[in-house]
Amino acid sequence: MNVFEFWEDKINFFIVTELCTGGELFDRIVESGCFNEQMACSTMKALISAIVYCHKYNIVHRDLKPENLLYESRDANSNLKVIDWGSSRKYNPNIPMTKSKGTPYYIAPEVLKGTYNEKCDIWSLGVIMYIMLCGYPPFNGKSKKDILKAVSKGSYTYSHEDWDNISNEAKDLINELLNKDYKKRITGEEALNHPWIKKFK
């Protein structure tokens, strides 16, 4: 998101950014119920590309979720912007991060354990992709405690009713993004070269 101006007083920083009138990705998922694969793929390409760019400069977001993704306009092909960088930081690739940051549905299991790297963003992208294709999160619960317990366990399913018409390539990418072992989890660059991402132009 472009920043046009900023200033500060004794208490606050004020930042003037571009105006995005298209609403959140969350709203579009709610409106449609779920995305078809072509629409989901287009969205994932944009998100992965943004995170690859950030990771290239050793910046991790740490709170990726549909509510933090805004469309420039209501146009169907509108650009998507990543917002809310309050949890982001510059990281050293050789030093694990330890401070717990993120939102229960989207937080990576290794973050809960207190030792993680930039691939926590990749996990969040996997959760977002799963939600786009079926309309609900892979890790759920009746309370925050239950949700975090499900995340820590890292197990999810593809119900026949909702996933029978979803391609195996899509499921394979989700599996790569949601690999519980973050050391073996796919990188952003590898995700951009996945067959599912290349399947749709």
Residue 136 CA to residue 140 CA, distance in Å, equals: 9
Q: Does the annotation mark 63 as catalytic?
A: yes
φ/ψ (deg, to 5) at 70: -110, 140
Task: Kindly report the number of other CB atoms within 10 A of residue 185's CB atom.
Answer: 21
| 117: Cα within 13 Å, side-chain hemisphere | 16
Residue among 9, 63, 84, 172 flagged as catalytic: 63
Quote the strand ranges of 44-113, DSSP E: 59-60, 69-71, 80-82, 89-90
Give me the residue label for tokens 């991060």: 97
Residues involved in catalysis: 63
